[in-house]
Amino acid sequence: MTTILHIKTDKKIRDQVQKLAKNNGMTITTLVNISLRNLINKPILEIDLQPELNAKTKKLIAEARRDYKNGKNISGPFKTVEELMAHLNK
């Protein structure tokens, strides 16, 4: 016996998963059913909540880390709110 499972997801995610499933010779339905069966057989829910960063964000983070390492573009630390506000109002 089968049942219908309705879920809401972002169209972009659906399209990417649909392409992934198709590239592996299956439908999204098959992929979801395999995932659900795997969860039943190994009831460990692994969820990675860390988003994948795009190239632009990765570049900005790398630049910020370089600046920090080189002591460039750094403010503070501030001991009081007044010190912080004085710095921001310059």
Q: 15 pLDDT exceeds 90?
A: yes
- Domain annotation covers residue 28: yes
Identify the domain containing residue 81 by its residue range. 55-88
Same domain, 59 and 37: no
User: Sign of the CA dihedral 68, 72, 73, 75?
Assistant: positive
- Domain annotation covers residue 15: yes
**Across 46-50, 62-66, 70-74, 79-83, least confident range:** 46-50
Q: How far is CA 90 from CA 1, 47, 79, 80, 85, in A?
A: 70, 45, 17, 16, 9
- Domain annotation covers residue 77: yes
- Domain annotation covers residue 60: yes
Residue 75's pLDDT is 86
What is the total count of domains within the chain? 2
Count the residues in the chain.
Answer: 90
- Domain annotation covers residue 48: no
- Domain annotation covers residue 1: no
